[in-house]
Amino acid sequence: MKTEILHNFTSRSRAATADEAQRGKFRSAMDFLIAKRAAQFPDPTEWAELRESGQQIRQRALAYLPKLLVQFEQKAQQNGMTVHWAETPLEANQIIHGILQRQQVRTLIKGKSMVSEEIELNQYLQAHSIQALESDMGEFIVQMADEKPSHIIMPAIHKSKQEIAALFAAEIDDTPYTEDVDELIQIGRQALRQQFFNADAGLSGVNFAIAETGTLCLVENEGNGRLSTSCPRVHIAITGIEKMLENLADLPTLLTLLTRSATGQPITTYVNLISGPRRADEQDGPEEVHIVLLDNGRSQAYADVQLRQTLQCIRCGACMNHCPVYTRIGGHAYGTTYPGPIGSIISPHLLGLAETRDLPSASTLCGACGDVCPVKIPIPELLLRLRVENVTRAGTKDHPAVMRGQGAKYRLSEKLAWQAWSLLNTTPALYLASRRSAAGLRHLIPSVKAWTQARVMPKIAPQSLHELIKAHQEQKS
């Protein structure tokens, strides 16, 4: 996967915090989303019961994931769909490109799909002379601006209405500049409407895949998902392997948790359940439906019982909305498809810990992300676990290899320093000697730049407290 320069998280986050206008947009947007979500969960007892149910459903599905994936494939094939398996983003891109080539597709219309962002599908298809057009309004805006989504639910949340108005006026023919939000929405809709019917194929993401029936569930508010999956003659859906549910009875609980947590709605305008291509007696729908099941590091997370909890995520974005770090630096500073707290625990599996080494530390560990997670993912605990994996070498007797890039921040000098500190504080004679010598050697202590950038360097007193008390008692006597 072609990635941005992930190691520059520090410089990107500094630039983001220095942008006062950008901070203001994110602050107001997050406050709005927090208030809308809170209004949807006024009863703490109901909230606690729903969370418990959601967690159990997701953990049960993950416990039987290998079996459910096989069951889903069988049911989907019985329904007339074609199932494809992709281990890497490149394989997923090649599969989709192959389908489009066989169908001689030149234009692909896309519903919202973060997994397609994860594999950088648009860029891959563009390099092979196939146009991929985003139809979700937020995605449409960021594609037009040649940017990436800054939020998994609201991709263009970093843009003001003035910026969108200027973008539309510049990029869409015969479009006057207007800051009226309703007019801007209508301009976008008119620009997209005919594209649904002109496109040869449509692509969508998947919110949940039901193994019992081989059904794909897709929620949305704009109707673009329904048009993308029903107007073109070919529909391709792409999803991570973790989106499986055991049966349809599990769906209502997760739907209410997802929509209330994500957008503060009791339910979205559209809930699409797709179980196959158009039947002989049906008037609309695609002639072919393909499903691409993507791994891309998810099996790595699955193999570890604690890290597996990462895969419970239903992509509501509530953890991002409540994160003080995300609110200040926005989504682009992370440099990954999935920003915020959930991105900091899922991206190390998708890209490797070496490429995302700074993300587990991009948190205050205030716990807000874990408190609002509708399926009770212990995000702060997982961040701490990744910090440990960051500084621990893999493959040792006491620490087996669990993920790519493990030990990315390991330093022998740091390890020796902590071993010395431990020895010093567990050996009374050494501790006493060091205490007596610390005052005399205090001028030799080097400065610690990273620590002292925002703090005053502590100074060791010429005499210890014990020495001062002893001197005081001698003087008094």
Distances from the Cα of 291 to the Cα of 139, 203, 337, angstroms:
21, 10, 21
- Encode pLDDT of 359-410 as tens digits: 999 999 999 999 999 999 999 999 999 999 999 988 777 788 899 999 999 9
Percent of the chain with pLDDT over 90: 83
What's the pLDDT score for residue 7? Answer: 62
Identify whether the C-beta of residue 354 lies closer than 8 Å to the C-beta of residue 408.
yes
Q: Contact, 291 vs 76, CB < 8 A?
A: yes
- Mean pLDDT on 401-427: 91
pLDDT digits (tens, 9 = 90+) for 315-352: 999 999 999 999 999 999 999 999 999 999 999 999 99
Pairing state of beta strands 234-240 and 208-210? unpaired
The pLDDT of residue 5 is above 60: no
pLDDT at 466: 82
Instruction: Please tell me the distance from the alpha carbon of residue 318 to that of residue 341, in angstroms, as a whole number.
Output: 10
The architecture (CATH level 2) of 41-300 comes to 3-Layer(aba) Sandwich (3.40)
**DSSP bridge partners of 274:** 216
Domain extent listing, the chain: 41-300, 412-476
Unique residue bearing structure tokens 């909230």: 47
* pLDDT score recorded for residue 1: 42
Per-residue pLDDT tens over the stretch 16-50: 999 999 999 999 999 999 999 999 999 999 999 99
Q: Is the pLDDT of residue 96 over 90?
A: yes
pLDDT in tens, 460-474: 787 878 888 989 999
Confidence of residue 8 (pLDDT cuts 50, 70, 90): confident
Angle at 445 between CA 441 and CA 451, to 5 degrees: 150
**How far, in Å, CA of 213 to CA of 254, rounded?**
17
Q: Is residue 50 within 8 Å of 253, Cβ to Cβ?
A: yes
Render pLDDT for 176-186 as a digit per residue (tens, 0 to 9): 999 999 999 99
Express each pLDDT in 262-310 by its tens digit.
999 999 999 999 999 999 989 889 999 999 999 999 999 999 999 999 9
